[in-house]
Amino acid sequence: MHAAWLRRRLDTARRDPLSGLARREGFEQAASRLLSGGSAAVVLVDLDGFKAVNDSWGHAAGDEAIRMAAAAMNTVCTDPGVTGRLGGDEFAAVVPLADPVTLRWLLGGLHGCLTAPFSYEGRTLAVGASVGGVWAPAGTPLGVALRVADEAMFRAKQTGGGPSVAPSLTPAYRTVNGRRDGRRGTDLEGGAA
């Protein structure tokens, strides 16, 4: 009984309390195991318009947007896949996928779920989403796949959001300060990019 209680406590500590998704560390461990065992889609999501929802309707509305995004991630990225909230309004998933043919469909379906309107205190609200993904064969290092999925997400964000599929596992952007060029913290003079 004590062991079961400890397992539940440990599982709770590894989950984001707002979304119920794995936190970054737990996500990365489970995602790496999944990638070592087979090919998969590696997906990165950033909500668009999230700050506007927070600023216009309050943090409770923003919290509901996070919960709805988590539900969308779990709906599309089913078991044995793994989903996580990396922080703020950024989410990730690794979903077993035998070949890259269905990746575009997976990302499009996820985008549709993420951008579906939701109800908050009698109002209908919505956020946009930039969704990037890459197909990774078995044994691909998670860091490489996440970097390329991040680049695809960035391309989607630059064109107004939506899904974007990376053409390969080869990064297209340079790295500055250990991060993809264009992300905060990549300005070589110390400011935000």
Residues labelled as active-site residues: 89
Residues 31/94, Cβ–Cβ less than 8 Å? yes
Provide CB contacts within 8 A for 52, sequence distance 6+: none
